[in-house]
Amino acid sequence: MLFKSTSGRLLSSYLRCRCGPSVTARSASSFEQVDEDVPPWQLPEEAEYELARDLLRIPGTSQQLFLIQPRIKIGPNRNYLTTPQLQLEENKTLVETLGWKIVDHIILPVSSYDSTHVFGRGNFEKLQEAVRSCRTSASAIFFGSNTLKKKQLAFYRETFGMPVFDRYRIVLEIFRAHAKTKEAKLQVALAELPYFRALLGGIGEVPGSSIQMAGSGSGQTRDLQRQIMRDREGKLRTALDKIRSNRAVLRRGRKKNEINSVAVVGYTNCGKTSLIKALTGDVTMKPENKLFATLDVTSHGGRLPNSVSVLYVDTIGFISDIPTSLIASFAAVLEEIGEADVLVHVRDVSHPDTKSQKETVLKQLRELALPEKLLNSMIEVCNKVDMLPEIEKSPEKVSAADNAIFTSATANTGLYSLRERIEAVLLGNTGLTEKQIRVPQGGAELSWLYREAHVHFLEADVTDSQFLVAHVTISPSSFARYIHQFRKIQVLTR
């Protein structure tokens, strides 16, 4: 289908971008719900981005997909911890997350990802026959691998006469569907730019869609496309930089007030949100049984056994077979993880692919260049243990570390042990120490400790009834200030 008005809309969109709102016919009421401190052009809903949505959005409200599941037999790209059948099931779940359906599927061995066909001649003929048998029910092809090259997308679209989507694009669509807050929408818009830019990369037809760019072969149109993409990226980064600056101010405030954070990471739908809710009792949290339910960074207060307050940070889930750069677009997530005092890796050990999921998360965490101390002290949590047969409830059965904590967020199993482990790692990573300090009853010292440290409990001083012994957890900097302010002190333990 020829999208004849594309070039005109490109120019109109570009003029709105460069010349301001006076050029567009949109009414002021269109932006009534936008925060006053955020210009309208920084939001994905703005008219400048209508073309981008038209080209990247999959046509229609629902799709019936034929799923092609590649099987890598040998080589460095093969994942020996999983199977094609398990990969197929995850791809089905991705599609169902969008409310779409898989009408049929086929698993085929890959000949070469570098070739246009991907499959050998015999398997390609099998594929053609399988697609022909369900042409009346399938509306699109889903190629269940990371990212197909432009020539591959174009070849399969032309061969089967219907849109072709790879795994990267399906994940992008889920992100777009689940992004609710301003920050999430901005980050998704930035995450899709590399994929979108590749689709517009000087070719006439957009792979995986029924749209043909009118006049896209001309240098003028291509230059305009590139300029719009550059302007779009610049505006998105400007808006996100402002949000990141605000988050940085909040983090500095937390550090100043010595509020420690625990970043909770894991494969998508492993139960991170449910576990944080169980640890904190935060009734406002609404865990959902779906992939990528969490796209925003959220913090939730809780207490450890020694009464130290911490913030549990809920983060976006990881997933296999997508570029790390997709997750890296969520800069706020990475910053909160990197700045955390403790890192908790949550696993769904009831999932049949739990071993492969674990390696995916560890690999992507290493690629994100997190602080070595944070990675080395990471706590492994084997969650959903209540759904595991009794015979499987051991570290070796689920490829877990010997010191892994087994939990169930729904049955409240293992939560106290997890809090104890977080407490121990926190003390080691931050330099917090537990002390017994002798203080006069009703004195300024005790008031200071309540304000600047974590007082666990008090007990009478058996040598002098005028004094108490305060059991506290205190940071090195706070203890130095205490010594400076109260010269004559007695510390019973160090």
The residue ranges of every structural domain in the chain are 2-58+174-240, 64-162, 258-429, 432-493
Place of tokens 């949590």: 381
Degrees to nearest 5, angle at CA 277 with 275 and 280: 110
In angstroms, the CA 326 to CA 191 distance is 6
Q: Which residues pair with 334 in a beta bridge?
A: none
Domain 64-162 has CATH 3.40.50: yes
Residue 65 in contact with residue 142, Cβ under 8 Å? yes
| CATH number belonging to the domain at 432-493, selected among 3.30.160, 3.30.70, 3.40.91, 3.50.30 | 3.30.70
In angstroms, the CA 241 to CA 470 distance is 44
In angstroms, the CA 465 to CA 427 distance is 32
Say if 64-162 and 432-493 have the same CATH topology.
Answer: no
Q: pLDDT 10s per residue in the chain (494 long)?
A: 333 344 444 434 433 444 443 333 332 232 233 333 433 334 444 444 445 445 445 555 678 999 999 998 776 677 778 899 999 999 999 999 999 999 999 999 988 888 888 999 999 999 999 999 988 899 999 999 878 888 888 899 999 999 999 998 899 888 888 888 888 888 888 888 887 777 665 343 443 444 344 344 456 666 777 777 788 888 888 888 888 888 777 777 777 667 899 999 999 999 999 999 999 999 888 888 888 888 878 899 999 998 888 999 998 899 988 876 677 677 777 788 888 999 999 999 999 999 999 999 999 898 888 899 999 999 999 999 999 888 777 888 888 888 999 999 999 999 999 999 999 999 999 988 889 999 999 889 999 999 888 898 999 998 998 999 999 998 888 899 998 898 777 777 65
Longest dimension (CA), the chain: 92
In angstroms, the CA 170 to CA 291 distance is 12
Place of tokens 């505006």: 235
> By CB neighbour count within 10 A (0-12 exposed, 13-18 middle, 19+ buried), where does 433 fall?
middle
What is the pTM (predicted TM-score) of this model? 0.79
CATH number of 258-429: 3.40.50.300
Residue 176 in contact with residue 44, Cβ under 8 Å? no
